[in-house]
Amino acid sequence: MDLFYGRLKKLSGNVCSNEPMKKHTTFQVGGPADYFVTPQDVSELAALVRLCREEGKPYFILGNGSNLLVSDGGYRGVVLHVGKALGKIRVLDNRIYAGAGATLAQTAAKACEAGLSGLAFASGIPGTIGGALVMNAGAYDGEMAQVVCGARILTKDGEEKRLEASQLQMGYRKSCILPMEYIVTEVELLLEPGDKTEIRSRMEELAARRKQKQPLEYPSAGSTFKRPEGNFAGKLIMEAGLRGFSVGGACVSEKHCGFVINKDGAKAADILKLCREIQRRVREKFGVFLELEMRLLGEFEEGSGM
């Protein structure tokens, strides 16, 4: 047992070493993280962040692993997993206070149960509410910026703060969280009173549309590329003749070209190589650069990830 592992254990009872990241990402790929810690409350998370900074150890905040590609070599640092212990959900009048580890599905279900509308669009997005705030997740003409009225965060020094919606600087698939090195601990949503039956019906309708149009039967990170201005990534990929195109076990979905899927035991290197080839061909054919929506973690052959 190394000294740093021992210090982590003093702060948290949920510490693993050499943890395979393929167990914690929706792509189901990724090598081992040196340390994998699941804090049980915000004060524990803050103490872990302070320790990492004191020791000069890189750390990464993980939610549901749904918008992430981890390299085959893994991550030389500490993964801090914001899971269900940090996912408590409270409803107060027409506001929902959701811990960062709550899933979007759980939060949308709680809103429906309380007769609050405005979150149905998020019910099928496979991520946590914290991760959804970080990237201003959206689908079916809805996005988090429409319903978020504030958030509680930790600064990189482990201090707790509350930010108003305007301070979060939410734009298309972005917010101030990553640039400022903040960690989301709770999200405050402001919703509208609605009819439970209508809300549930809308959620079921969107779930059916997802099942029909998206390759939910395969591991993926959801939409692989951000939407280019005035167009759609899936449309450009299809028109570039890349439907079903594969590299190793990674493949452009035939069902929806905006999704790169782990079709047959893909490696992270296969997935990234395929993404780069898609970018190259679409740029060559249409002069449009497709920006990755997912984040990279670890070392990749083309250079360093995040």
223 is a catalytic site residue: yes
Catalytic residue among 19, 44, 188, 293: 293
Residue 242 backbone phi and psi in degrees, to 5: -105, 5
Collapsed DSSP state (helix, strand, coil) of residue 269? helix
Band of residue 141 on the pLDDT scale cut at 50, 70, 90:
confident
Catalytic residue among 66, 117, 220, 223: 223
Residue 299 backbone phi and psi in degrees, to 5: -95, 130
pLDDT of 287 > 60? The answer is yes
Q: Across 1-5, 158-162, 276-280, which has the greatest mean pLDDT?
A: 276-280
- Which residues are CB-contacts of 84 (< 8 A; sequence separation ≥ 6)? 101, 102
**DSSP secondary structure letter of residue 208:** H
Q: Please, where are the H alpha helices in 174-260?
A: 196-213, 233-239
Model's pTM, two decimal places? Answer: 0.93
Residue 108 backbone phi and psi in degrees, to 5: -65, -40
- Which residues are CB-contacts of 76 (< 8 A; sequence separation ≥ 6)? 34, 58, 298, 299
Catalytic residue among 173, 200, 243, 281: 173
Band of residue 1 on the pLDDT scale cut at 50, 70, 90:
low
The Cα-based distances of 226 to 129, 203, 229, 288 in angstroms read 19, 24, 9, 12
Band of residue 157 on the pLDDT scale cut at 50, 70, 90:
confident
Collapsed DSSP state (helix, strand, coil) of residue 138? strand
Band of residue 304 on the pLDDT scale cut at 50, 70, 90:
very low
